Amino acid sequence: MTKEEAENGRDDMLIDNPEPQDKELDAFPEGFSSSYLKLYYGWLFPHADMSKWMAYGNDGKHPACDQSYFGRREFSFTLDNDIYVRFQSFKTAYDLEKAIKEQCPFKIDIGPVYSVDPAKRHAYSQSGDNVFTPVERELVFDIDISDYDDVRYCCSGADVCLDCWPLMTIAIKVIDTALRDDFGFNHILWVYSGRRGVHCWVCDTKARRLNNEQRSAIADYFRVYKGNSNSKSKVSLVGPALHPFLVRSYNVLSDYFERKLLCSQQLLSDERYENILDMISDESAASELRGKWQGSRRSNANDINLVRWEQLKHQCTRKKTPGLRRCVEEIVFSYTYPRIDMEVSKHMNHLLKSPFCVHPKTGCVCVPINPNLCDEFDPTNTPTLSKLLREMNIGGLQAEGEKVWDRTSMGKSIRYFKESFLQPLLKSCKEEMEASYNAKVQQSKNSLGW
């Protein structure tokens, strides 16, 4: 806080002067509470930057700006005691910030931009014209690590650790590359969900204006994992050769499978190798491998997974049985390929948790993830409410021009959001706005010339 604020005795800051570190721990013990959240929304949540994102350049004075755009966006708040309030809208960024600070939502979800103000939808529905419909919405993806519970053995459900998190790293690398290289999207934001997964927001204009059929087509492009518990193979790899997208993905999948997951998950240990042998289509090849592995022992448990994997690859590639070579690829895809919640991506009216929310079960902030550095992301060491408040408090009085979040572990995340995502996005929006406006002006001049 600034010296002036300290002198004025603002009541939304718990402690003004820095104390010894052990007392800081007492002041803000780990956990989640509405009082913590009030401080977070008051001092650390990036209200202005989030509103600029949601406005997509329509908050300026350019004649092409749609002044109603921001006010047609749906926000939903989950309040204390699981009170869920949908179809909220705010005319200005100030109104949104005021509502967040006053209501202190435990969760904020972001929905589409509608044809009319969503808060007034009932008035329009009574007119019988059915004009209340979504017209824009980011293309979004939701990947939860709990959907991988059949192939990870270190954790289950909402639990996550550094041994299984590479599954989320793989998802980011595979999907991000395809969105950029195969679909030509540029403005993509990856966000940690705060507990067990990652969210992706594709914010290019052409992505936001996709209809449900087009969104379904893009989601289906990524559909490889079948998720059928009755099938030995969990993936569908059709054709004599893999699609170029799958070939590129396989290079990522196989690298992580062999370097990290084989050993960390003990996938070919005595207790688990039958799961993989069941996926080999040639029974004689599977029996031969089973014979080698039964009763075999090595001093290093990690070595045995790598040795057995090399034996399996050799067995499947030396035989000329049709489809046997494909088994290696199917095993790798089954254990590592991204498992997307398809319904989230297919429909414009699906809501998704806002970045920089705080997960009420973990107290973790939903911080952005740089896809170029996603290998370095550690879900067990992300900013938490209590940690941020301690960091903010230890810093003492705020220097002139300093942002409070600059001295917290969330500073890096906000800078990445602003500099690597938001600024390039708004630059692109303004260029598109200017080009569209100039084209309309020229078209008007041409019509007058006739």
Catalytic residue among 74, 117, 138, 330: 74
Q: What distance in Å separates the CA atoms of residue 130 and residue 13, rounded to the nearest whole number?
A: 47
Catalytic residue among 109, 138, 142, 147: 142
Q: What distance in Å separates the CA atoms of residue 265 and residue 46, rounded to the nearest whole number?
A: 38
Closest CA to 334 of 255, 228, 242: 228
Could you confirm whether 341 is annotated as catalytic?
A: no
Q: Check: CB of residue 46 under 8 Å from CB of residue 356.
A: yes
85 has which bridge partners? 77
171-204 CB burial, b ≥16 within 10 A, e <16 = bbbbbbebbeeeeebebbbbbbbbbbbbbbbbbb
Angle at which helices 166-181 and 244-256 pack, to 10 degrees?
160
Amino acid at 182: D
73 has which bridge partners? 113
Amino acid at 1: M
Could you confirm whether 406 is annotated as catalytic?
A: no
Could you confirm whether 24 is annotated as catalytic?
A: no
Q: In the chain, how many H helices and how many E strands?
A: 19, 9
| Torsion angles phi and psi, residue 340, rounded to 5 | -85, 140
Residues sharing a CB contact under 8 Å with residue 296, sequence separation 6 or more, in sequence order: 304
Q: What distance in Å separates the CA atoms of residue 432 and residue 436, rounded to the nearest whole number?
A: 6
Catalytic residue among 144, 147, 176, 391: 144
Active-site positions read 74, 142, 144
